[in-house]
Amino acid sequence: MSTRSTRVWLGASALLAVGALTLTACGSGFSSGSSSSGELTSSDDALTVLIGSSGDAETTAVTDAVAAWSAQSGVDATVTAASDLNQQLSQGFASGSPADVFYLSTDALAGYASNGSLLAYGDQLSNKDDFYPSLVSSFTYDGQFYCAPKDFSTLQLVINTDMWAAAGLTDADIPTTWDELTAVATKLTDADHVGLTMSGEYARVGAFMVAAGGNLMNDDSSEATADSDANVEALTYLKGLLGDGVMKFAADLGAGWGGEAFGTQKAAMTVEGNWITGGLASDYPDVNYEVVELPAGPAGQGTLQFTNCWGIAADSPNQQAALDLVEYLTSTDQQLAFSSAFGVMPSIQSAAGQWSQDNPALVPFLNGADYAKGVPTAKDAADVVTDFNGMLGSLATSDPATILATTQKNLEALLQ
């Protein structure tokens, strides 16, 4: 996998990888600006914007958008693409000079919100009702909507259409249930490739947990639900696919992620997010594929969503300008421009129609917004997810209930 496609993949998966260790340097707390009830600060100070970029296209698009806003508003602003966003963000807060506006992941929200580092400005957004409700939920902490989701991704099923046709399958065989997924994975498996692959981690397996009616935590991450019967059913189903040899995790195919296993044609199908399109176009342009929605599980359709928001520092001397900038960056026209530039899906519902017209082959990813669930946002949950991922790698020979019971205990410990 090339450096660029690696960055594209990490742009979403890193939402689960940033640990709470990055937050320890800012545990002393900051100003009372974390409340949205106070007046916003205003000054002549220029704004600083810190982003974690997937590559040159994203950096250029954000820089150009901020420059256009500066020209319109008269407020100077500079964009920095971090080499290590989590470290640089943490260092900025620790030194008392954080960026005014920055990318913030769901699993970093609780740590920074709980110590007063963030401005809870969500309810002051003029377009707050336009964001997908599930995304708003991902950035709500202690009952406050903190920050505007900047874009999002979901997981769906990606099919190699040449392998599909060679196996004698047609559109009528596109799986809509888990039983049907098992059937097509079996037909697609031969000596040269396996029927289905995905990364052996919560950020992929979790889609099946949601489709079974479960997830690691409830919607507001106030309760651990890892050991639910639904999650046991989901992992048991996937263990069956692994045991039958019709699915293999990407690592077992010698690949770093599902997109690489799919692109090198070691698998006929993969479960991935919309970032895969950039990786395939860059590294595997000869692979023909189609994106379809994941088949429904026992509880119906389900998938995971991944997102970042535009955080604003509570200590920013120019919160009003920062809020104005965020509203500009999350407007319909600007989000569509970002989508065209680097492939993200807009976080606002008003952009859905035009985005769907512009990206008809990717509509299944957007459809996932209606039934997607977010990843845990409880403080330090990322560390538990990392441990869970370690256990999932040996799912084929492990007891799903035991894996989930361990994860349940670890999550409950966070909430005590």
pLDDT tens readout for residues 258-268 = 999 999 999 99
Residue 153: pLDDT over 90: yes
pLDDT tens readout for residues 361-373 = 999 999 999 999 9
Measured CA distances, 99 to 17, 22, 62, 264, 283 (Å): 22, 16, 15, 40, 34
Angle of the 381-392 helix axis to the 202-211 helix axis, nearest 10: 90
What is the pLDDT at residue 276? 92
What is the pLDDT at residue 17? 35
pLDDT tens readout for residues 19-59 = 333 333 333 333 334 444 469 999 999 999 999 998 899 99
What is the pLDDT at residue 28? 33
What is the pLDDT at residue 38? 66
Measured CA distances, 80 to 22, 102, 314 (Å): 19, 9, 19
| Mean local confidence (pLDDT), 214-219 | 96
In angstroms, rounded to a whole number, what is the distance separating the alpha carbons of residues 399 and 24? 35
Spell out the domains of the chain, with CATH numbers in brackets: 3-153+306-369 (3.40.190.10), 155-304+377-415 (3.40.190.10)
What is the pLDDT at residue 208? 98
pLDDT tens readout for residues 154-175 = 999 999 999 999 999 999 999 9
- Kindly report the pTM of this predicted structure: 0.88
pLDDT tens readout for residues 288-322 = 999 999 999 999 999 999 999 999 999 999 999 99
Of all residues in the chain, the percent with pLDDT exceeding 70 is 91
Residues 6+ apart with CB under 8 A from 108: 18, 22, 23, 86, 89
Radius of gyration (Cα) for the chain, nearest Å?
21
pLDDT tens readout for residues 57-92 = 999 999 999 999 999 999 999 999 999 999 999 999
**Residue 316 Cα to chain centre, angstroms:** 27
What is the pLDDT at residue 21? 31
Of all residues in the chain, the percent with pLDDT exceeding 90 is 87
Q: How many CA atoms lie within 13 A of 31 on its CB side?
A: 18
| Position 167, amino acid | A
| Mean local confidence (pLDDT), 176-189 | 98
Residue 396: pLDDT over 90: yes
Mean pLDDT of the chain: 91
